[in-house]
Amino acid sequence: MNQTHSGKTAVSGHDLYRFLEVKTPFWKWIKRMVSYGFDENDDFIVTDKNVRDETAFGNHRKIKDYILTLDMAKEIAMIQRTDKGKQARQYFIEVEKQYRRPKPMTATEQLLLATQSIGEIDERVTKLEDTFPISNAQQQELNQLEHAVAIKHLGGMNSNAYRKLKGKVFSQGWRAFNRHFHIPRYCELPKLEFEKGKEYLKMWAPDTDLRIEIQEANGQTNMF
């Protein structure tokens, strides 16, 4: 825990990362955290940091570190949803109370401050969570729905079209889905868009050329 030139409490991104025991590589993790609505030079700055490394020249090497404001560190701890995250959040809340305290506070005042701080964080976390990618369970639900819709258009799992064209139909369905929601992969659909995603899949149909291939594979002559 340090202070910036303006007197604000600051937290090392690497220190917080190690405390939280995150399994993802630091650079992937910190970039994802930053993408949740934080601004450089407002919520954090990027700086060089010397760390000890016995294999490096002079036993030290230089790395990039993210220096976070207390508010940003607190919110990052909150959204981890782990015991370590809860511990870090409580610690930051206590630090925040100490720095905000102009004079000794009564127990009632301390409780009020803590309640207000947590309330503000919870509100922002709720907004952040809406931008999070859908959960594994939601991914599975979309997968099952897309599978069912594709099978219906193929004429069932026992159809010739299913045996010959299922990969093509599945692939076209997901490409259309990703293009509609402006995402690289369906698993990155924001939670806020989950219900819309389900409705889209229910309404999706193969394009005309693919429908013709399906009907020819199934020995049908009519398109509709």
Q: What is the pLDDT of residues 195-224, one digit of tens each?
A: 999 999 999 999 999 999 999 999 864 444
Q: Residue 41: pLDDT above 90? A: no
**Per-residue pLDDT tens digits for 102-122:** 555 566 655 555 555 555 655
What confidence category does residue 93 fall into, taking pLDDT thresholds of 50, 70 and 90? Answer: confident
> pLDDT at position 145, please?
95
Q: Residue 6: pLDDT above 60? A: no
Sign of the alpha-carbon dihedral angle for 171, 175, 181, 182: positive
φ, ψ at 182 (rounded to 5°): 60, 50
> pLDDT at position 141, please?
94
pTM: 0.45
Separation between Cα atoms, residue 183 and residue 199, nearest integer Å: 17
> pLDDT at position 79, please?
86
**Per-residue pLDDT tens digits for 138-147:** 999 999 999 9
Say if strands 2-3 and 9-12 run parallel, antiparallel, or are unpaired: antiparallel
Quick one: CA torsion of 94, 100, 102, 105, rounded to 10 degrees? -40
Of 30-44, 89-103, 186-200, which range is least confident? 89-103
Q: What is the mean pLDDT of the chain?
A: 81
φ, ψ at 52 (rounded to 5°): -75, 135
Q: Higher model confidence: residue 15 or residue 169?
A: 169
> pLDDT at position 102, please?
58
> pLDDT at position 224, please?
43
> pLDDT at position 130, please?
60
What integer is the mean pLDDT of 169-176?
Answer: 94
Separation between Cα atoms, residue 221 and residue 161, nearest integer Å: 14
What confidence category does residue 4 fall into, taking pLDDT thresholds of 50, 70 and 90? Answer: very low
> pLDDT at position 86, please?
85
> pLDDT at position 85, please?
81
**Per-residue pLDDT tens digits for 127-162:** 655 667 888 899 999 999 999 999 999 999 999 999
* DSSP-derived secondary structure for the chain: -EE-TTS-EEEEHHHHHHHHT--S-HHHHHHHHHTTT--BTTTEEEEEEEEE-TTSGGGEEEEEEEEEEHHHHHHHHHHH-SHHHHHHHHHHHHHHHHHH-SS---HHHHHHHHHHHHHHHHHHHHHHHHHSBPPHHHHHHHHHHHHHHHHHHHT-TTSHHHHHHHHHHHHHHHHHHHHHHT-SSGGG-BGGGHHHHHHHHHH----HHHHHHHHHHTT-----
Residues with Cβ within 8 Å of 56's Cβ and at least 6 positions away in sequence, in order, are none
